Amino acid sequence: MDTVKYSYLVEWLLKVEKPVFFTGLTGTGKTVILQNLLTRLSASEEEGGQAVLPIFIGFSAQTNAKVTQLSIEGKLQKQRKTMLAPPPPSKKVVVMVDDVNMPAGNYPDS
């Protein structure tokens, strides 16, 4: 029952183009819920989806900004010199970052 509730809320927020930060205890199925939802929404609008291009990124202790940027840009196509967009027929890009707390920061010692 919780899976249906969370899927509905996330789908609605994506439809109105609001950012979503999905958090909860370890092992509750957050990743599976979002992967299933985004895969379903990647279908065209005629097929009942929202024509989104899902980009799944799993952070780890070795993840850095450059790797993240290249992961996102690699799925997009260049439209102009500084403008990227999803390849047709996708209309929107949804980036799902898993384990957002994992990257080690390069913070100076205090």
Is 59 in contact with 98 (CB distance < 8 Å)?
A: yes
Task: Dig out the tokens for 53 from the structure.
Answer: 């291009």
Which ranges of the chain would DSSP assign to H, the alpha helix? 2-15, 30-41, 65-73
For the chain, the domains span 2-98
End-to-end CA distance of the chain, in Å?
A: 46
| The domain over range 2-98 is classified in CATH as 3.30.70.270 | no
> What is the mean pLDDT of the segment spanning 94-102?
87
What per-residue confidence (pLDDT) applies to 105?
Answer: 63
Q: What is the pTM of this model?
A: 0.80
For residue 107, pLDDT beyond 60: no
Q: In Å, how far from its chain's centre is CA 109? A: 32
Is 99 in contact with 58 (CB distance < 8 Å)?
A: yes
